Amino acid sequence: MRDELKVLLYGAGDMAGKHAEAYSRLSSTRLVAVANRSPERAEKLCSDFAIPRRYTDFTEALEKERPDIVSLCVPTAFHPESARTAFAAGAHVLTEKPIALTAEKGMEMIEAARKADRKLSVIFNRRFNTVWKELKSRIDSIGTPVVYNTQEIRSIRPKRAMHTRSLNGGPVIDCCVHDFDMLLHTLGHAKTVFATGSVFGSNKPFLAGIEDPAVDTAHINVELEKGHRAYLLYGWGFPEGPGYWQYRDFMGPNGIVRLMGEFGSEVQHYREDGKLEVVYDLEENGHAELVRLFVEAVLYDGEVPVKPEDAVGALKISTAALRSVNSGEKEEVQ
What per-residue confidence (pLDDT) applies to 244? 76
Domain 5-124: give its CATH code. Answer: 3.40.50.720
- Would the CATH topology of 5-124 be identical to that of 127-285+316-332? no
Please, what is the end-to-end C-alpha distance for the chain in angstroms?
Answer: 38
What per-residue confidence (pLDDT) applies to 263? 61
Q: What is the mean pLDDT of residues 155-159?
A: 91
Give the whole-number percent of the chain exceeding pLDDT 70.
98
How far, in Å, CA of 31 to CA of 21, rounded? Answer: 10
Q: What is the mean pLDDT of residues 104-122?
A: 98
Hey, where are the domains in the chain?
Answer: 5-124, 127-285+316-332
Higher pLDDT, 133 or 36: 36
Q: Which fold has domain 127-285+316-332?
A: Dihydrodipicolinate Reductase; domain 2 (3.30.360)
Q: What is the mean pLDDT of residues 29-34?
A: 98
Q: Interhelix angle for 14-24 vs 39-49, to 10°?
A: 30
Q: According to DSSP H, which parts of the chain are helical?
A: 14-24, 39-49, 58-65, 79-88, 103-116, 130-138, 170-174, 176-186, 286-300, 308-327
Say yes or no to pLDDT of 178 above 60.
yes
> Has this prediction a pTM greater than 0.75?
yes
Count of alpha carbons within 13 angstroms of residue 286, beta-carbon side: 21
Model pLDDT for residues 242-254, shown as the tens digit of each residue: 677 888 999 999 9
Residue 76: band (very low, low, confident or very high) from pLDDT cuts 50, 70, 90: very high
Q: What is the mean pLDDT of residues 89-105?
A: 98
Count of alpha carbons within 13 angstroms of residue 132, beta-carbon side: 18
What per-residue confidence (pLDDT) applies to 281? 82
Give the number of other Cβ atoms within 10 Å of residue 235's Cβ. Answer: 21
What per-residue confidence (pLDDT) applies to 18? 95
Mean pLDDT for all residues in the chain: 95
Q: What is the mean pLDDT of residues 160-181?
A: 96
Beta bridge partners of 247: 151
Cα dihedral sign, 266-268-269-273: positive
What per-residue confidence (pLDDT) applies to 132? 86
How far, in Å, CA of 172 to CA of 235, rounded? Answer: 9
The answer to whether residues 59 and 85 touch, using CB atoms and an 8 Å cutoff, is yes
How far, in Å, CA of 119 to CA of 61, rounded? Answer: 20
Eight-state DSSP code of residue 214: P
Higher pLDDT, 191 or 1: 191
What per-residue confidence (pLDDT) applies to 46? 97
How far, in Å, CA of 120 to CA of 175, rounded? Answer: 20
DSSP letter string over 32-66?
A: EEEE-S-HHHHHHHHHHHT--EEES-HHHHHHHH-
Question: 260 exposed, middle or buried (CB, 10 Å; 0-12, 13-18, 19+)?
Answer: middle
Q: Give how far the C-alpha of residue 149 lies from the chain's centroid of Cα atoms, to the nearest Å.
A: 19
Q: What is the mean pLDDT of residues 11-38?
A: 96
Count of alpha carbons within 13 angstroms of residue 266, beta-carbon side: 10
Nearest to 242 by CA among 262, 258, 214: 262
